[in-house]
Amino acid sequence: MADEMQVIVKDGQMRFIYSDNLIPLIKQGTSKTNRASHVEPCENGWQADLSPVNGPVLGPFHLRVDALKAEIEWLREHNIPIPKG
């Protein structure tokens, strides 16, 4: 589900999908936010471009919310990979 939070802890660092609900927690320490993907309009609707984490382009989706859901699902299935670069 999109409401569940998944946290990956490795080498003393935490990775998770950003949510505004986490702002108080994020402010407790040092944090860095990196873009793992881009949900953008395309010719036939919306797509989720996961190339920043060496992933595929998902879609097209009729609704943006469906592209966002697919993006989150892919990131979770792949243990929230760290963006390249």
What gap in Å lies between CA 81 and CA 73, rounded to an integer? 12
Q: Which amino acid is at 23?
A: I
Residue 2 lies in a domain: no
Residue 22 lies in a domain: yes
What does the chain come to in residues?
Answer: 85
State the residue range of the domain holding 31.
8-77
pLDDT tens digits, 32-69: 888 999 999 999 999 999 999 999 999 999 999 999 99
Mean pLDDT, the chain, integer: 90
pLDDT of residue 32: 86
Residue 49 lies in a domain: yes
Angle at 58 between CA 53 and CA 59, to 5 degrees: 160
What gap in Å lies between CA 50 and CA 73, rounded to an integer? 12
Q: Which amino acid is at 71?
A: E
Whole-structure pTM over 0.95, yes or no?
no
Residue 33 lies in a domain: yes
Domain tally, the chain: 1
Looking at per-residue confidence, does 83 or 49 come out higher? 49
Residue 83 lies in a domain: no
Residue 31 lies in a domain: yes
pLDDT above 90 as % of the chain: 54
Residue 85 lies in a domain: no
